[in-house]
Structure 1
Amino acid sequence: MSKINRRSFLSSSAKAVAGLSMLPFATKAGIFSKDLFFDISLAQWSLNKGFRNGELDPLDFAKIAKEEYGIQAIEYVSQLFADKADAAYIKELKKRADDHGVRSVLIMVDREGNLGDTKKKERKKAVENHYKWVEAAKELGCHSIRVNAAGHGTAEEVKKAAIDGLGSLTEFADKHDINVIVENHGGYSSIGTWLAEVMEGVDHARCGTLPDFGNFRINKTERYDMYKGVKELMPYAKGVSAKAYNFDEQGNSVEIDFKRMLQIVKDAGYTGYVGIEYEGSKLSEKEGIMATKKLLEKVGSQLS
């Protein structure tokens, strides 16, 4: 299959209609929040403590999202069930989601090697390690897998390696109608301009970004401007992650200006899913998820 570059894809309206799920802003499976310009999904990481200590069963994730939080779209995290994820388990996950009328949006994939590894052999292995997650995403009905563009070396060395690694994985994913999306997740990937250049280098309609509101820590001493970073990544976005930590008495995020962030998201023409990813410690996971959902609904309605 020949490479579909991002520019030619977006310039063709016929292809755009035929390939709706491939567009950065066309990932909706229905309007769940009718007065918002986006739909709300729940990232499994928001409940990582419960899943990791065995209090919660990953197979019940769809049920939990719908019945406890009123959310009908979910984002899986591979490391929370990787040791169980054979074909039968993935089919059961799909059945549970279908039974509850919940949309499986994406799988966040970690711990499968560095796609920006400057060593060709290790990079190739990392690419191949992600194949099973592409296939799982296809089975679940997701539109994407979320990956990391990590590597060791200079910015230019890792960029070159990441373009190659992501490009190879995207070619495989394209055959399964799955997108490969990169999150700003520390290191060079938290530099908006760097990750944007990687996207331009890959130049494939199936390769995009998952801008996260809070993951702009480059290293122990450096942080990238979060608003600048999200703005730089939105042209390639096929998903958005609404990171939240703490809330004030009015229910606003202490660390992140959600109104400013969501305005950036809206200005980019995005109308897909915004995933709740609560990582605070002052509220319980359930309280934090509900506080984030309430804030998204409040701010989203103001901007719609």
Structure 2
Amino acid sequence: MKRRIFLKNTGQAGLALSFLGMYACKNNHSKKNNSPTEEVSFEPFFKFSLAQWSMHKMILEQGENPMNFAEKAKSWGFTGLEYVSQLYNKEIEKRGNDNNAIISLAEDLKKKSDEHQMHNQIMMVDLPGEDNLLATPNEEMRTKAIENHKIWVDATSVLGCHSMRINLFGSMEKEEWKEASIASLTVLTAYAEEKRVNIIVENHGYLSSNAALLAEVIETVNKSNCGTLPDFGNFCLRREGDALWDAPCIEEYDMYKGVKELMPYAKGVSAKSYNFNKEGKETKIDYYKMMQIVKDAGFTGYVGVEYEGEAISEEKGILATKALLLDVAKKLDNPSAT
């Protein structure tokens, strides 16, 4: 199952030179060619983490080893890591495809992150089929899904991540979805509390992208380790044919309203990006407006870069998003200069 739907190529020729040049302008410690690992003269109000989904094509299609995530992210100038469980499916199968394999994986990833002095932030868990239905009214299926998420809470704890991101998929009826979501989160947060792990929900399609409804769920659960992961771009409420992914969106929640509604409960922020114009700006999302909402909420933690475009390579898209975030942070720090 694909975790994200990809937008069609709307990029323009020469884009890579534009945003990479933009990034170089941000790093002015040296007149030499700048690299992503060089220290910048400006410290934004947040820190940079990399969402591993930004590399999913590298991993699934181009043979990049997901075990090298920490090293790769560090080479691009990041200090935080956000893992994606499904990108390790083959690795887990090699290790025996059981709970011990998952814990073994987490232990080895922790060694890798420590080796490169990286900070583990979030484990994003996407389980297959019914195991992912935490918001189904079917109690038997929901209980099974909860149990299959617990081992990932353990793995998240081993990694030293502060949060595990889950999906709230299941019912399409609001009250059923809300009741089932509260039930699952109540059990999972109680289990995760013992492991010092937060359970966070991303707006990730269907009713989970109804930010006001999701905020009601978080308020009702009312646990300090229950929160959100606001994503700039995942606000499609319904797609053609009721498809989960890979179909045109026919009903969408207002992204700026949605992020504002989710920020009071945020344990992290996912800076989604798709495509960029010649000036290095995101073509769908007003990053200045979005990051103003993040800043106004008092958020000073890690902002995760999550590039999903197709017009340019994943590496270039990752660096373009990082450069844009830094540029916006500078403008927010000194609005009179814009």
Q: TM-score range by the shorter chain?
A: 0.7 to 0.9
Match of 1:75 in 2: 82
Pairing partner for 1:46 from 33, 50, 54: 54
Is it true that 1:101 corresponds to 2:109 in the alignment?
no
1:1-304 matches, cutoff 5 A? 35-53=43-61, 55-67=63-75, 69-85=76-92, 86-111=102-127, 112-220=131-239, 221-304=250-333
> Any conservation in 2 of the 1:113–1:125 contact (CA below 8 Å)?
no
Q: TM-score, normalised by structure 2?
A: 0.79
2:199 counterpart SS class: strand
Q: Alpha-carbon deviations, 1:40-96, whole Å to 9, x = none? A: 1000000000111252111100000002x1111110000000343432222111111
Q: CA RMSD in A?
A: 1.5
> In structure 2, how many angstroms separate the alpha carbons of the residues matched to 1:159 and 1:167?
12
Q: In the alignment, is the contact (CA less than 8 A) between 2:168 and 2:201 conserved in 1?
A: yes
Over 6 Å off, 4+ runs: none
Amino acid at match of 1:251: G
How many pairs were matched up?
273
Q: 2: distance between equivalents of 1:253 and 1:227?
A: 15
For each residue in 1:176-228, what CA deviation from the matched residue of structure 2 results, as whole angstroms up to 9, or x when unmatched?
00000000000011111110111111111000000000000001210000000
Matched position secondary structure for 1:106: strand
Q: Is the 8 A contact 2:172 2:206 kept in 1?
A: no
Q: Secondary structure at the match of 1:130?
A: helix
- Change beyond 3 A, Cα 1:253–1:153: closer
1:134-155 CA distance string (max 9 Å, x none): 1111111100000011112410
Separation of aligned partners in 2, 1:247 and 1:266: 23
Larger radius of gyration: 2
Identity of aligned residues (%): 50
What is the letter of the counterpart of residue 287 of structure 1?
K
Deviation at 1:32, TM superposition (A): 9.2
Say whether the 8 Å CA contact 1:32–1:72 is kept in structure 2: no
Q: 2:103, 2:212 → 1: CA distance? A: 38
Residues in 1 aligned to 2:205 and 2:285: alpha-carbon distance in whole angstroms:
17
Secondary structure of the 2:45 match is coil
> Could you list the per-position Cα deviations for residues 89-147 of structure 1 after superposition, in whole angstroms to 9, with x for gaps in the alignment?
22111111100001111111012321111111111111111111111111111000000
Where structure 1 has 5 or more consecutive residues not aligned to the other structure, the ranges are 1-30
* Structure 2: segments with no counterpart, 5+ residues: 1-38, 93-101, 240-249, 334-338
Once the 2 structures are TM-superposed, how far is the Cα of residue 34 of structure 1 from its aligned partner?
Answer: 5.7
Between the aligned partners of 2:41 and 2:193, the Cα distance in structure 1 is 30
CA offset digits 1:158-193 (Å, max 9, x no partner) = 101000001110100001000000000000111111
| 1:276–1:162 Cα change, 3 Å | same
* Matched position secondary structure for 1:81: helix
Instruction: Decide whether the 8 Å contact of 2:132 with 2:167 is kept in 1.
Output: no
Change (3 A) 1:102 1:285: same
TM-score w.r.t. length of structure 1: 0.87
- Tell me, in whole angstroms, the C-alpha distance in 1 between the residues paired with 2:182 and 2:141: 15
